[in-house]
Amino acid sequence: MNTWTSDQPIVSIRDVRKSFGPIEVLKGVSMDIMKGEVICIIGPSGSGKSTLIRCINALNDIQGGSITVEGQEVHDPELDRLQLRKKVGMVFQQYNLFPHKTALENVMMAPVKVLKENKVEVEERARALLKKVRLEGKEHSYPGELSGGQQQRVAIARSLAMRPDVMLFDEVTAALDPETVKEVLVTIKDLAADGMTCILVTHEMGFAREVADHIYFTDKGVIVEHGAPNTFFDNAQDPRTKEFLSQIL
Ligand code: ADP
Ligand code: MG
């Protein structure tokens, strides 16, 4: 029986180990995320950030430890994968919208095709979501007619259409033109303000400082240091964190 209540971590990561063949990429990672929190994971390329994110929604399996979402073990082979997909939304660097479908159709697709929900209701929700990501008026545009930032916001709306409780963002602004980065960050900020639990991998340090409740710094598959943004950015202790911040800030 699942006895999870919202005063317990909504996502709990305990001593997670992940290997690809002989190479251990996550070497015992733990973090707890409370409902409504915004967590930023930062760290050098190859440190295992994407792997960790992908373990949270079971796109990657794990070799040790546990990950629970709302008290349910994500890596339990008995777990209903569709339930997990509904609960945990994910947006990647590559938005991969369907090029021959409009923005509205892209957002409606999964609830209609996968969840078999009522099309009229889904359309209403999809329109509201496009408005929420500030794309009102673009419902009938095709991805090729939208900027990178607009496409990424369609991808966010598409993910929200499944009504997730937790959103994962893996470097969603990394491939965007600088002028469209901000509009995507504003969208995520809006979501966070609405109380969505967000776990982000990002190199946007200004955003992390302003919006995150907690920052984790990873290096070579371990969490080196973590803390509240001001403490983390102004008073990093570990030499690896200091070196990383000195390069990026
Ligand atoms: P980050 O997102 O921090 O840049 P990743 O999680 O993508 O790091 O990668 C961590 C390490 O795992 C890297 O050494 C990468 O080459 C390796 N890795 C990631 N995915 C795979 C895979 N599917 N097969 C083999 N190795 C992988
Ligand atoms: Mg990555």
Domain that holds residue 201: 11-247
Nearby residues for ligand 2 (ion, Cβ within 5 Å): 49-50
Instruction: Give me the half-sphere count of Cα atoms (radius 13 Å) on the Cβ side of residue 63.
Output: 13
- Containing 18, the helix (H) or strand (E) segment is strand 11-20
**Does 2 reside within a domain?**
no
Alpha carbon of 54 to ligand 2 centroid (Å): 10
CATH, residue 33: 3.40.50.300
**Does 157 reside within a domain?**
yes
**Does 204 reside within a domain?**
yes
Examine the pLDDT at 95 and tell me if it is beyond 90. no
| 1 pLDDT tier (thresholds 50, 70, 90) | low
pLDDT one-digit tens code per residue, 135-166:
999 999 999 999 999 999 999 999 999 999 99
**Does 1 reside within a domain?**
no
The residue nearest atom 24 of ligand 1, judged by CA position, is 20
**Does 238 reside within a domain?**
yes
Grouping H, G, I as helix, E, B as strand and the rest as coil, residue 160 is helix
- Containing 218, the helix (H) or strand (E) segment is strand 214-219
The residue nearest atom 20 of ligand 1, judged by CA position, is 51
**Does 240 reside within a domain?**
yes
pLDDT one-digit tens code per residue, 185-237:
999 999 999 999 999 999 999 999 999 999 999 999 999 999 999 999 999 99
The residue nearest atom 6 of ligand 1, judged by CA position, is 48
DSSP string, 40-67: EEE--TTSSHHHHHHHHTTSS--SEEEE
Mutate to test the pocket of ligand 1, among 19, 25, 52 (most ligand atoms within 8 A of CB): 25
Tell me how many degrees the CA angle 11-166-241 measures, rounded to the nearest 5: 65
**Does 191 reside within a domain?**
yes
Q: Which amino acid is at 158?
A: R
Residue 142 and residue 69: Cα distance in Å, rounded?
Answer: 34
Tell me how many degrees the CA angle 242-244-246 measures, rounded to the nearest 5: 65
Radius of gyration in angstroms for the set of CA atoms belonging to the chain, rounded to a whole number: 18
**Does 3 reside within a domain?**
no
Q: Which residue has the tokens 């509201």?
A: 128
What's the total number of domains in the chain? 1
